[in-house]
Amino acid sequence: MADRDDSQLRVGHAERDEVAEQLRLAAGDGMLDLEELEERLEAAHAARTRADLARLVVDLPPAPAMPGAVERAPGADVANRSNPGVLDADERWRDGALVLRTVMGDCSRRGVWVVPARIWARSVMGSVTIDLREAELGRRTEIEAQATLGDVTVLVNSSTRVEIVGRGVLGDFTEGRATVAARLRGDSPVVVVTGRAVLGSVTVKRRGMPGELRRMLLGR
């Protein structure tokens, strides 16, 4: 009996979504331009067989992790129950790093949360916001940010030290104008932001604590 050709097996929503995610990550890393991304995403959602999907990623490196291998951070489910909405739908954990990514949408992490040592932020025609002002930071946090026709914004408070070593390609990779003075100590946490912005922006902003300005105006 001849071996069955699995390439002609029908695919379902899960397999289509898996390939679509690989395409989005490739676009965020600059491997696909926007026209290619749109064409391949349309083809992925219309794919009927495994062969149809394979053709779309044959020239791309394998995805770092398959959706079935996605991990949640220790205690993530507890955090979600105690702080509804804290965990964004576009969050994933990969190789110990928190992954925040969006394509033509918004993704954010705010409030009181424990920050991992590494964060990967990807924005394609969208916006990613990482608010560290109320977060619990370790001694050093590394954020790798990639913005393609989109933006990644990192908010820090007055006592966080910032190092920016990324670059802009027809885009901006900068520290924005601070609205509060830096009050750094020898043991201040360090946030290192690397990556690149292609026709987009990656910006680190030093801001006051949430609600601080309103309290000052109200005299509280």
Residue-by-residue DSSP string for 138-187: -SEEEEEEEEESSEEEEEE-TT-EEEE--EEESSEEEEPPPSS-----TT
Which residues in the chain show pLDDT less than 50? 1, 65-89
For the chain, give the percent of residues with pLDDT over 70: 80
Specify the pLDDT at position 176. Answer: 87
pTM for the whole thing? 0.62
Strand-strand pairing, 172-175 and 167-169: unpaired
Nearest to 114 by CA among 93, 95, 145, 144: 93
Q: In whole angstroms, give the CA distance from residue 101 to residue 28.
A: 9
Q: Measuring CA to CA, which residue among 45, 89, 41, 95 is closest to residue 65?
A: 95
Are residues 139 and 190 in contact, defined by beta-carbon separation less than 8 angstroms?
Answer: yes
Kindly provide the residue ranges of all beta strands, DSSP E only, lying in 46-95, ordered along the sequence.
Answer: 91-94
CA distance 121 to 21: 14
Sheet holding 151-156, edge to edge: 106-109, 127-131, 151-156, 201-206, 172-175
Cβ atoms of residues 133 and 152 within 8 Å: no
Q: Please tell me the predicted confidence (pLDDT) of residue 81.
A: 30
Rg (CA), the chain: 20
The rounded distance, in Å, linking the Cα atoms of 63 and 18 is 9
What integer pLDDT is reported at residue 220 of this predicted model? 57
Instruction: Give pLDDT, residue 216.
Output: 53
Looking at residue 52, its pLDDT comes to: 93
- What pLDDT is stored for residue 109 in this prediction? 93
pLDDT of residue 211: 67
